[in-house]
Structure 1
């Protein structure tokens, strides 16, 4: 009897083991299917309304396992497209509601570079593992294509941006009237593919349903296109189209309209106040305009004040017997001298400020006295000639600059409003870098051309501003999808040279000033002519050391001191004196027998010394998709998503 029980026990144990193995096999077989996060089904139900709007309900059933899908899903929807001509199209996208498993679900709307992201779910709530069904209802506009013979919906039902595979995808399209469809097409696969892994499972007048025939891998989608007779959906009016275009391309409109307006303003300003009176006939003159000092000549000739104006005044004061200049090593010392010829008010103010505490060395530690003397000279020249012989028209230039700044602000605001932070940020940075770099670079180039900026300074500055402006331009072009996208940011950069040069271009002499400037031009012609044979027929004054000294301040003022010195090299050599020795007001421990070297020291060297010593330390001066011409990912709708 005991043997029977033993045999029965063995039989039961074998059956239990077999059952356990079977259960384990079933469990092992089922685990991978449940553990893989994916979209079980994706249904895009589209109702076309008579006004062209689409009412869309997306039903997305997902398998969540707490890896990528922990709190919910992300649904990206593109709203910004680019036409073949590069201009923008922005479709409407209004979310009507979101549900999960039959209950309202919270969501947040985030702006992307080319559209909108819905972050569905709550940061405080973790999903249970298993299937969940999301329903997203929204309305979108401007998705219908209006062709000559048909109207069409080319609809990217799922989008090709999903990071999950899709087991089954379905697109349902319902028209406002029960009319037959003229043609239809479908595409599956990644962006741009023309796969046909789908079919039409239902078609009747006014309704058509597409469904995939095999699962879609990640980054694959279903796109459908269908066309129907015209008249079912109302096309947009011309006014609507214009309004849409202006709204879509608001930054471009602001940039072009603002740029044209700014150029128009500058043209108007130049025509009104910036045009010079016609020049007279320029003939060589053998002296300055009557009553003009060297500083006055340069101030009127340039229609403004600079460091060389002050340097010319220092040399002129020396020639007139009011100061002496001594160069000892690298130090330039200027001392008062009494008994000189009477001075005009501007130069008299210079001596009062410069020698308020006696002699002064042109060093930075004396910047307050030197700057005060410069300021006194400028104020005196302003009072004597500004508004009398020329009008700076600074106010007109300032208004233009403010308009330029307002244009930059308008482009930045419209870009941020229409494109969001992701695109607006690079555009703003690019505009600022590019505009400032180009503006400053233009001023640097102008200074170099006019001889106010030395070559080493120009090279260093040019490299800096090229890099500065280049970074801005690069930020604009690389962040833009098309060249048209970059145009709004590039407009202020292109206008920067105009804004920078306007301060000098809008200056204009008065009629009285034109006469004086013609005289200055004639005098400069005499001072700066190296070929003396050209002047002989006019009987110029005899060349003497005294004449060389007398007009030297004017040659410095008019940037022709080296030519003037070259003409007198033989005269000074015949007199047995060096260039420096020909003057009683200048001394140096180096001696300057070469007149060109000495005058260059006085002109350029003294100008540089004045500039550095008057500045305080630490400061500075399409085809139809339904006709077979489409692809997966084409048309409206689309996007993609993931979990979070």
Structure 2
């Protein structure tokens, strides 16, 4: 019968062990402040080991630096005097790792049996006291953080003789949190007891105790930081001044230089506006250069008789299934003295070595060079017109203001003044506000130049004539008939304005509505696929643009990759010394 009872007891014990969670159950810290400024600490840590986390024992990491309420980093050292396990001395060794002093408790060759263990760690540390104008203070992170909930964390802080508690606070949570889910009580002997139950994982208990000044000896050379009103609120003042001054500057300069002049009224244009070339019209309309403008220039040269275009369909691939489109350009006139600058570049450099050039989409060095000089020519002619009124000079004052603001910000940071809430709040509000104001100003200060407005007004008038939708409105201006000659004259401009399909439809409609039966239209300067005028310009633009673009783009190599602490109510969890973490090994 006795064996049956023993078996039942053993079985229940085994079940109890299996059901027990391996973690830290209680963490107790007894902190004594001495008059010398030294702190004696006794930590009592109760764990349950299954051998998964706590194999040989525990590890206790202690941070070798701390930050005070002024955010100064202070170096800390520790002297471990004794470590006990279940009341008996136990082996331990220390190592410095990643800014922490790690205490390894246990023997490398001895593994723990499943069960509860109580570890006691005794150590001393200095440099943990903060000295202020009217009080001294200890801010202490009681427990080392753990990956699992700790059932109970508690501490006792004992002051030296003659010192009384002036103020105390406790904080719980992760670093920076200001929750106070904890209870503090001043005992009859003047010590402070603090307790928190069920502390969540990766959170800590921080105790801040302000006490009578002068009882603890202040280290030689240590000066008490006294902060002025400006130290605590200066960033808000500086930010307000910056916002006010920049707002006034933005308003004055915009009113004087950024208000747009009245736009000219667009009047229908029936011929190229201001004698501009097709590429010039396209660039002025878009506001920037695009490669597709080359097609408008080539077609314009063809219409004027400087070159001819022949489209050749080559059958390639198995059984000739694949059809490749190739263009053959032939120079008919080499006198480019009367041509617009960019068209002269095309005629001179495209036919540099021969009067005939074949564009099959393969890279051609001459075509690439021509495109570079073509772009330079257009930018040289019209970039100044497009850049008129950008008013970049008015951005210098905001830029210098931002630099000065950053310099002042670094002053506040280097002097540890950004921990004050007013300064932090001012920074968080000012940075996005200054950015938004500047973006608005950068947009509003741009004032289109009168030349650009004039050109764009006339270009808009040309688009009115090219567009089918404006046909009824055009009748009031007595527009010329859309003859083959007029169609060809404005086709390059329609291509530059991406209206070639609309212009072709208008021409096709004019032919069909003619009283005289029209002859089939076929441009003399072009040989190749032609269905009707509505599709001709669009097909020519897309295919010729792609072919020239590929010929001017050097293929990439096979390697790939390039395609063209004094808290007094202002503290938080983790603000003090101590803390660190607890784990197993």
More helix per residue: 1 or 2? 1
Question: Are the counterparts in 2 of residues 360 and 366 from structure 1 also a CA contact under 8 Å?
Answer: no
For residues 287-317 of structure 1, give each alpha carbon's deviation from its aligned partner in whole angstroms, at most 9, with x where no partner exists. 1234322122223333432112211101111
Asked if 1:210 corresponds to 2:193, the answer is yes
Cα distance in 1 between the residues matched to 2:342 and 2:543: 23
Cα distance in 2 between the residues matched to 1:217 and 1:535: 78
Cα distance in 2 between the residues matched to 1:540 and 1:173: 101
1:167 deviation in Å? 9.8
Q: May I ask how many residue pairs the two structures share in their alignment?
A: 482
Cα 1:37–1:507, aligned 2, differ >3 Å: closer, same or farther?
Answer: closer
Query: Who is 1:448 aligned against?
Result: none
Asked if 1:596 corresponds to 2:499, the answer is no
Query: Who is 2:479 aligned against?
Result: 540
Cα distance in 2 between the residues matched to 1:383 and 1:219: 64
Q: TM-score, normalised by structure 1?
A: 0.56
Question: Are the counterparts in 1 of residues 365 and 552 from structure 2 also a CA contact under 8 Å?
Answer: yes
Cα distance in 2 between the residues matched to 1:609 and 1:266: 48
Q: Which secondary structure does the structure 2 equivalent of 1:44 belong to?
A: strand
Asked if 1:171 corresponds to 2:110, the answer is no
Cα distance in 2 between the residues matched to 1:518 and 1:491: 38
Cα 1:369–1:221, aligned 2, differ >3 Å: closer, same or farther?
Answer: closer
Cα distance in 1 between the residues matched to 2:29 and 2:304: 95
1:319 deviation in Å? 0.7
Cα 1:613–1:118, aligned 2, differ >3 Å: closer, same or farther?
Answer: same
Question: For residues 497-512 of structure 1, what are the structure 2 equivalents within 5 Å?
Answer: 510-512=449-451
Query: Who is 1:137 aligned against?
Result: 126
Cα distance in 2 between the residues matched to 1:323 and 1:635: 80
1:211 deviation in Å? 7.0
Cα distance in 1 between the residues matched to 2:138 and 2:499: 75
Query: Who is 1:27 aligned against?
Result: none
Cα 1:316–1:142, aligned 2, differ >3 Å: closer, same or farther?
Answer: farther
Query: Who is 1:97 aligned against?
Result: 77
Query: Who is 1:347 aligned against?
Result: 343
Query: Who is 1:43 aligned against?
Result: 30
1:550 deviation in Å? 0.9
Query: Who is 1:444 aligned against?
Result: none
Q: TM-score, normalised by structure 2?
A: 0.61
1:544 deviation in Å? 1.1
Cα 1:343–1:178, aligned 2, differ >3 Å: closer, same or farther?
Answer: closer
Question: Are the counterparts in 2 of residues 161 and 639 from structure 1 also a CA contact under 8 Å?
Answer: no
Consecutive unaligned residues of structure 1, counting only runs of 5 or more, are: 1-35, 82-88, 111-116, 247-252, 419-483
Q: Which secondary structure does the structure 2 equivalent of 1:531 belong to?
A: helix
Cα distance in 2 between the residues matched to 1:186 and 1:394: 55
Cα distance in 2 between the residues matched to 1:220 and 1:210: 19
Query: Who is 2:312 aligned against?
Result: 328
Question: For residues 148-159 of structure 1, what are the structure 2 equivalents within 5 Å?
Answer: 157-158=142-143
1:100 deviation in Å? 1.8
Query: Who is 2:527 aligned against?
Result: 587
1:177 deviation in Å? 7.3
Cα 1:119–1:295, aligned 2, differ >3 Å: closer, same or farther?
Answer: same
Which residue of the other structure, out of 101, 114, 118, is the alignment partner of 1:119? 101
Cα distance in 1 between the residues matched to 2:245 and 2:55: 52
Which residue of the other structure, out of 351, 362, 369, is the alignment partner of 2:359? 362
Asked if 1:75 corresponds to 2:75, the answer is no
Cα 1:163–1:127, aligned 2, differ >3 Å: closer, same or farther?
Answer: farther
Query: Who is 1:371 aligned against?
Result: 368
Consecutive unaligned residues of structure 2, counting only runs of 5 or more, are: 1-22, 84-92, 112-118, 216-223, 314-323, 415-424, 557-561
Question: Are the counterparts in 1 of residues 29 and 143 from structure 2 also a CA contact under 8 Å?
Answer: yes
Question: For residues 102-501 of structure 1, what are the structure 2 equivalents within 5 Å?
Answer: 108=96, 110=98, 118-120=100-102, 133-139=122-128, 157-158=142-143, 161=146, 169-172=154-157, 174=159, 178=163, 201-204=187-190, 208-210=191-193, 236-242=227-233, 277-329=261-313, 330-339=324-333, 342-356=338-352, 357-387=354-384, 389-391=385-387, 396=392
Cα distance in 2 between the residues matched to 1:576 and 1:369: 42
Cα distance in 2 between the residues matched to 1:213 and 1:281: 78
Q: Which secondary structure does the structure 2 equivalent of 1:365 belong to?
A: coil
User: Which has the higher mean CA deviation after the structures are superposed, 611-620 or 311-320?
Assistant: 611-620
Cα distance in 2 between the residues matched to 1:563 and 1:184: 78
Q: Which secondary structure does the structure 1 equivalent of 2:469 belong to?
A: coil
1:156 deviation in Å? 5.0
Cα distance in 2 between the residues matched to 1:223 and 1:77: 17
Asked if 1:611 corresponds to 2:541, the answer is no
Question: Are the counterparts in 1 of residues 327 and 360 from structure 2 also a CA contact under 8 Å?
Answer: no
- RMSD between superposed Cα atoms in Å: 6.2
Q: Which secondary structure does the structure 2 equivalent of 1:203 belong to?
A: coil
1:284 deviation in Å? 1.1
Cα 1:80–1:234, aligned 2, differ >3 Å: closer, same or farther?
Answer: closer
Question: Are the counterparts in 2 of residues 95 and 137 from structure 1 also a CA contact under 8 Å?
Answer: no
Asked if 1:554 corresponds to 2:493, the answer is yes
Question: Are the counterparts in 2 of residues 75 and 642 from structure 1 also a CA contact under 8 Å?
Answer: no
Q: Which secondary structure does the structure 2 equivalent of 1:541 belong to?
A: coil
Cα distance in 2 between the residues matched to 1:533 and 1:44: 94
